[in-house]
Structure 1
Amino acid sequence: MSRLPRYLLIWLSCTAASVTAVMITVHFVVGSTRPTAPVAQSAPEGFVAAPPPSSPAARPSRSPSPRPTPSVRTPSPTPSRTAEKPPAPTSAPASRTSPPVPDEPSAAQPPEGQGGGCEQGGSGVHTISSQGGKATVRYGSGGVCLISAVPNQGFTVSTSQTTPETLTATFSAARHRSEITATTEPSDRASVRETSF
């Protein structure tokens, strides 16, 4: 046998073997990924299949449903005549106090023990401004009363009232002090004194 036919025969054998191996592999892969046919399963007990929807023309006309027979009425129980006790009065709710706003100085409250004789007479309510804050007072027939004292940013406030006729609100900072004095003697008036250090 000459060399050329021998090479040709070897080449054909190798090609046929490789084609066969590829075909077997493809057949195996395709066969393993083929979807399986659905299998019928029995329905569980008590399962009722819904009827298929029918067209409007095929629906039978509804017959009027029979009216239910009236039932025998039983007499309703009569209410008892026992008097119900009214609910116990609840105590009045506690007054609400709002929390102080951050970065806002708190206002001074009127000194305890003061406030008599401010409700009537006099020149009424006045607000006095200063560099350190504002003070609102009420001038009455019996003296002067503090309503509020609100310091400006960076100031603190303190109040003093030695007599019902004179009230002092002092706004203090690191390098400044504002002093507001309200008095009813000899007449209703207020003075502001500014002091820098």
Structure 2
Amino acid sequence: MLGSGRRHQYNVCLFFPAVKDLIHWRDPKKSGVVFGLSMLMLLSLAAFSVISVMSYLLLALLIVTISFRIYKSVVQAVQKSNEGHPFKMLIEKDVSIPPETFRKHVDASLTYINRGLKQMSRLFLVEDLVDSLKLAVVMWLLTYVGAVFNGITLLILADILLFAVPPIYEKNKTQIDQYIDVARTQVNATVAKLQEKLPGAVKRSKAE
């Protein structure tokens, strides 16, 4: 399962190459801005409601654009220039999403959604008893995590790990892969021992 997780992460990075560049800090300035803004957003959500945070962000954006528009108008009036609207290039820029691009992303997202639905169906309908038991253990552990952390705290931790783990892994890939292989071997050995202790009927149904 660890190997499949790495393959899934690799596929996501291929689908969103810009995300891969951000979390690997290819451009430190851009990654720093995105990380800072995402942390500011999550910390704001931890202190205020979603409606308040979105309203303040949009209000701040409007204040900046309105102030810049008034400033440029005053400068043009004083200098008697005819530069026109300061955001003319942005206004004339086509921001619509092409249907082909939209369909491409929808189709790619649908592939992951269908794969996830099939996996959830397999787990909750107990097609493989061991895999369903693994999910039950994970859900049981998450009940303790949920008792300690709320959703926003987990998102903050996930945001930190998202921008911290990839560069660390990239620099120490060989050593980390060795530890992951050792851990996977131990997990597989433990699962194999548990399967040997399962009732014969269960093992036969699993083999079928």
Name the TM-score class by shorter chain. Answer: under 0.3
Task: Choose between structure 1 and 2: higher strand proportion.
Answer: 1
Structure having the higher helix fraction is: 2
| TM-score (norm: length of structure 1) | 0.15
